[in-house]
Amino acid sequence: MMSMLEFKNISKSYCMKETIMAPSKSVKVVNNISLKLERGKCLGIFGRSGSGKSTLGRIIAGIEQPDCGELLFNGINMLAKTNRNNKGIRRNIGLMFQDCYSSVNPRFTTKDIVAEPLLNYEKCSSAELTKRVEKLLEVVNLSSDIMGKYPHEISGGQLQRVCIARAIALKPQLIILDEAVSSLDVLVQMQIMDLLIQLQKEFGLSYLFISHDLQTIGKLAHEIAVMDQGQIVETLQDVHALHRLSHPASRLLFDSVLPMHPGGRKKFGCFNRLELSLIMIVNYFIFSNHLVVLIT
């Protein structure tokens, strides 16, 4: 059966400029990645900061071109010259990024933000536009009173909902969520995750959920791919068994999650010599005046 999204051997290099310390060189940020995503499912991309997750997301969103590889959306090659700017295909992919405040125009009201994709892709009368924005806000559990407000006049959680409304405005099949809930406090994070799950069930949406946070990925994803230094180092089909992640890069992030109970925290005996020395050095600086000297 044909997958909704399939990418094969995607690679992308960036040229790092020459500095005093190092000559210019080409760095492979995404290295030969192949993955599949089925309709109505969520694929989680997990990895530490700088592992290339966002670059991969931007390639799939069509914001960036890979050096090589194939990107198939419902069997259509998105990288073919004729399809690159094809609005009919592109409208099926919605986007949402971590920092909602920087991904919206501060001079736009909530209504303008949600209406933007509708104005870009569809011809609607003014009355119809208002109605559709109202409906979209209702879907994300926001009242229509918010329509005249500016981003700085609403809370972070509300703005996140506005961005979800914008992302689903054109009824896309796929939404790319790049660290979409990472900047929110835990309570709002949970509310937004529940909303995403509800929307997925209601509209059969597929998500590409990019995050460095294993807990949020575990809640939403059906399958997890771990990225490290531009490569997929392991995949996990059963998200209820996160403890089975075995690659050192996965373990590092997994072990850094604080347990619910303080008693479950790492004991000193669990640290190796290098870790212990580092802890001692940090402690020394914190409890001596050296820190003040270092900062000033």
Ligand X SMILES: Nc1ncnc2c1ncn2[C@@H]1O[C@H](COP(=O)(O)OP(=O)(O)O)[C@@H](O)[C@H]1O
54 is a site residue for ligand X (CB under 6 A): yes
Q: Does 216 bind ligand X (CB under 6 A)?
A: no
Candidates 54, 160, 173, 189: give the one binding Mg ion (CB under 5 A): 54
Size of the site for Mg ion (CB under 5 A): 1
Side-chain half-sphere exposure of 243, counting CA atoms within 13 A: 0
Q: Decide: is 47 part of the binding site for ligand X (CB under 6 A).
A: yes
Residue 98: CB minimum distance to Mg ion, A: 7
Helix axes 110-121, 126-139, angle to 10 degrees: 120
* Rounded distance between C-alpha atoms, residue 198 and residue 203, angstroms: 9
Binding flag, residue 173, Mg ion (CB under 5 A):
no
Which of ligand X, Mg ion, none does residue 14 bind (CB under 5 to 8 Å by kind)?
Answer: ligand X
Name the region of 76 (left: φ>0; alpha: ψ -120 to 50; beta: rest): beta
Q: How far apart are CB 253 and ligand X at their closest, in Å?
A: 12
Site size toward ligand X (CB under 6 A) is 10
The stretch near Mg ion (CB under 5 A) out of 23-31, 38-46, 48-56, 125-133 is: 48-56
The piece of 32-40, 42-50, 146-154, 193-201 that touches ligand X (CB under 6 A) is 42-50
Report the sign of the C-alpha dihedral through residues 189, 221, 1, 52, in that order. Answer: positive
Distance CA 194, CA 5 (A): 24
We find the least distance from the C-beta atom of residue 45 to ligand X, in angstroms, to be 8
Residue 288 tokens read as 């001596």
Binds 71, which of ligand X, Mg ion, none (CB < 5 to 8 A, cut-off by type)?
Answer: none
State which residue, 110 or 216, has the beta carbon closest to Mg ion: 216
The residues with which 224 forms a beta bridge, in sequence order, are 44, 236
Name which of 209, 143, 133 is nearest 166 in CA terms. 133
Shortest-Cβ-distance residue relative to ligand X = 54
- Of 172, 171, 166, the C-alpha closest to 180 is 166
Q: Quick one: tokens of 86? A: 């094809």
Of residues 4, 10, 35, 51, which one binds ligand X by CB under 6 A? 51
169 by Cβ neighbours in 10 Å (0-12 / 13-18 / 19+) ranks as: buried
Q: How far apart are CA 43 and CA 59, in angstroms?
A: 16
Q: Report the residue from 14, 108, 121, 150 that binds ligand X according to the rule CB under 6 A.
A: 14
- Amino acid of residue 256: S
Under the binding rule (CB under 6 A), the answer on residue 148 touching ligand X is: no
Please tell me whether residue 55 binds ligand X under the rule CB under 6 A: yes
Q: Is 44 in the site for ligand X (CB under 6 A)?
A: no
Reported as type and span, the H/E element at residue 83 is helix 81-84
Tokens 């460095």 belong to residue:
212
Q: How far is the CB of 151 from Mg ion (least distance, A)?
A: 22
CB under 6 A: which stretch of 47-55, 87-95, 155-163, 281-289 binds ligand X? 47-55
Give the residues lining the site for ligand X (CB under 6 A).
Answer: 14, 29, 47, 49-55
Give the residues lining the site for Mg ion (CB under 5 A).
Answer: 54
